[in-house]
Amino acid sequence: MSILITNIQELLQVREENTLKLSGNQMKELPTIKDAYLLIDNDTIVDFGSMIDVSTIKADKIIDATGKLVLPTWCDSHTHIVYAGDRSQEFVDRINGLSYEDIANRGGGITNSAKILQNTSEDELYNQSIARLKNVMKLGTGAIEIKSGYGLTPEAELKMLRVIKRIKKEFPLKVKATFLGAHALPLEYKDNKQGYLDQIINVMLPQIAKENLAQYIDIFCEKGYFDLNDTEQILNAGKHYNLIPKIHVNQFNAFGGIALAVKHNALSVDHLEQLNPKDIKALKDSDTIAVALPSCSYFLSIPYTPGRQIIDAGLPLALASDYNPGSTPSGNMNFVVSTACIKMRLTPEEAINAATINGAYAMGISNQYGSITKGKKANLIITKPISSYNYLPYAFGDNHIDTVIINGQVI
Ligand code: NIG
Ligand code: FE
């Protein structure tokens, strides 16, 4: 099955196949073709160019994109979309004056989500998760990283990862799985942190490796959660099973987690709302990408990741949603891109680059996703008729998407 998209007002993010990530300087440019066509064959982008050259091309289906823009689908490199129930009561508790930390300290937060998930069947967890997944696909997400970390027991962590595996099989979008056993300390281990780490290392990891349930390993490196020593243990154990680190770090405190992640060749360091010059220095000359999660800052009213500073230092930056029940109950990448422009002062070019090609890099798939490139997967957003790509982040909170194509299929 071939699809020809014609009369595209502007085709965005046109790149050579060897572009795998963009530095801060390169992020300033968003290469485009005006008055363009694009040809899909099955699941692959096979051709594109100026409409002047289109007359000879035939296809099974033609989509007329007059007045519309076409860009790659969003690559959301950090989510916790598999979870059970919600935490809307904690949302109200925060409005009434409790802090995120107060809520966690009284047994709410991550351990609250874990309790609900432990009591939810695998089928029910799958059904709740795919309702959210279908929604973000309609909002233009064509590739997604999904973490475990709301199980916190061997059974429940494996249940989460098996649900992710099932999603991978059943849906056309690209899925990468991350094991986040060290997300919070379960109540039973309140006074025995090493006991829980040992369980992750000796019980969970071997089983996950045996069933091939994860590609990446994560830990919440934060005061009150897991420290540098714990992080080192977990990353070393992950290495034994070829799990590449992508870690939660510097959300509330900066204490050397980024340098440690870089030392372990992490693919990404995520959050970074708190960032000091040493962290920036550690990221320079590394292959580790910084990932900002502006919807989390918005929802928790915490500082935004200094994305401007990261880009101005020449470093690559990716944007992701952090979709989860506690700090970001939204997976809308259009909102993420707008918020990055409005609150972090990224330009539309920088924000779109951060949510496409650099997002793909942050989940290890930029050789096949994240740009309009011959041979890459046909994952495309066709917008409604709009004046220019600046309009996407500018007119925030509205849905500017007309059609989403994932793996060559119209969603
Ligand atoms: O990325 N920071 C750690 N983990 C999640 C939120 C966890 C929760 O509150 O459920 C995050 O923000
Ligand atoms: Fe997260």
* DSSP string covering 263-319: HTT-SEEEE-SS--HHHHHHHTTSSPEEEE-HHHHHHHT-PPP-HHHHHHTT--EEE
Residue 103: pLDDT over 90 = yes
- Cα→Cα distances 188→45, 102, 111, 181, 193, Å: 51, 19, 11, 15, 10
Tell me: is residue 199 an annotated ligand-binding position. Answer: no
* Three-class DSSP category at 333: helix
Q: Does 324 sit in the ligand 1 pocket, CB within 6 Å? A: yes
Place of tokens 């849906």: 171
The pick from 78, 87, 220 for probing ligand 1's pocket by mutation, whose C-beta has the most ligand atoms within 8 angstroms, reads: 220
Tell me: is residue 400 an annotated ligand-binding position. Answer: no
Q: Does 225 sit in the ligand 1 pocket, CB within 6 Å? A: no
Cα(366)–Cα(229) distance, integer angstroms:
32
- pLDDT at res. 56: 72
Residue 284: count other Cβ atoms within 10 Å of its Cβ. Answer: 10
Q: How many CA atoms lie within 13 A of 73 on its CB side?
A: 34
Q: Does 248 sit in the ligand 1 pocket, CB within 6 Å? A: yes
Q: How many CA atoms lie within 13 A of 263 on its CB side?
A: 11
> Among 70-74, 79-83, 100-104, where is mean pLDDT lowest?
100-104
Residue with CA closest to ligand 1 atom 12: 327
Taking each helix axis from N to C end, the angle separating 154-170 and 122-138, rounded to the nearest 10 degrees, works out to 40
Q: Are residues 125 and 247 in the same domain?
A: yes
Burial per residue of 346-376, b for 16 or more beta-carbon CB atoms within 10 angstroms, e otherwise: bbbbbbbbbbbbbbbbbbbbbebbbbbbeeb
Question: For 316, phi and psi rounded to 5 degrees?
Answer: -70, 150
Instruction: Give yes or no for a contact between 282 and 252, defined as CB atoms under 8 angstroms apart.
Output: no
Q: Are residues 30 and 124 in the same domain?
A: no
Residues 362-387, mean pLDDT to the nearest whole number = 98
Q: Are residues 173 and 320 in the same domain?
A: yes
Single out the residue of 226, 191, 219 nearest to residue 204, CA to CA: 219
Which CATH number do you get for residue 379? 2.30.40.10
Q: Mean pLDDT across the chain, nearest whole number?
A: 97
Residue 305: pLDDT over 90 = yes
What does the H/E/C string look like for 345-386?
Answer: CCCHHHHHHHHCHHHHHHCCCCCCCCCECCCCECCEEEECCC
% pLDDT > 90, the chain: 96
Q: Are residues 10 and 51 in the same domain?
A: yes
Tell me: is residue 248 an annotated ligand-binding position. Answer: yes
Tell me: is residue 150 an annotated ligand-binding position. Answer: yes
Record the pTM.
0.97
Residues 68-82, mean pLDDT to the nearest whole number = 98
Q: Are residues 341 and 391 in the same domain?
A: no
- Cα→Cα distances 379→127, 141, 154, Å: 24, 9, 35
% pLDDT > 70, the chain: 100
Residue 350: pLDDT over 80 = yes
Q: Are residues 103 and 60 in the same domain?
A: no
Residue with CA closest to ligand 1 atom 11: 327
Instruction: Give yes or no for a contact between 310 and 23, defined as CB atoms under 8 angstroms apart.
Output: no
Q: Are residues 36 and 125 in the same domain?
A: no
Q: Looking at the predicted complex, does its ipTM rise above 0.90?
A: yes
Q: Does 220 sit in the ligand 1 pocket, CB within 6 Å? A: yes
Helix (H) / strand (E) containing 405:
strand 401-406
Which CATH number do you get for residue 277? 3.20.20.140
Phi-psi region of 339 (alpha: psi -120 to 50; beta: other; left: phi over 0): alpha
- Cα→Cα distances 360→97, 107, 198, Å: 38, 35, 32
Q: Which domain holds residue 172?
A: 75-362
- pLDDT at res. 205: 98
The Å distance, Cα 74 to ligand 1 centre, comes to 21
Residue 57: pLDDT over 90 = no
Task: State the pLDDT confidence band at 106, using cuts at 50, 70 and 90.
Answer: confident
Task: State the pLDDT confidence band at 285, using cuts at 50, 70 and 90.
Answer: confident
Q: Are residues 316 and 350 in the same domain?
A: yes
* Three-class DSSP category at 28: helix
The Å distance, Cα 146 to ligand 2 centre, comes to 10
- Cα→Cα distances 341→180, 276, 348, 397, Å: 30, 22, 6, 13
The Å distance, Cα 69 to ligand 1 centre, comes to 34
Q: Which residues contact 268 (CB under 8 A, 6 or more apart)?
A: 77, 78, 246, 247, 288, 289, 290, 291, 318, 362, 363
Place of tokens 């992490």: 266
Q: Are residues 172 and 196 in the same domain?
A: yes
Residue 359, token pair as written in the block: 């997002």
Q: Are residues 318 and 293 in the same domain?
A: yes
Q: Are residues 131 and 31 in the same domain?
A: no
- pLDDT at res. 130: 98
Q: Does 109 sit in the ligand 1 pocket, CB within 6 Å? A: yes
Q: Are residues 123 and 54 in the same domain?
A: no
Residues 13-27, mean pLDDT to the nearest whole number = 96
Cα(43)–Cα(63) distance, integer angstroms:
16
Counted domains in the chain: 2
Cα(204)–Cα(185) distance, integer angstroms:
15
Residue 391: pLDDT over 90 = yes
Residue 264: pLDDT over 80 = yes
Tell me: is residue 183 an annotated ligand-binding position. Answer: yes
- Atom of ligand 1 at shortest distance to CA of 100? 9
Residues 151-180, mean pLDDT to the nearest whole number = 98
Residue 28, token pair as written in the block: 């300033």
Residue 105: pLDDT over 90 = no
The Å distance, Cα 208 to ligand 1 centre, comes to 22
Residue 55: pLDDT over 80 = no
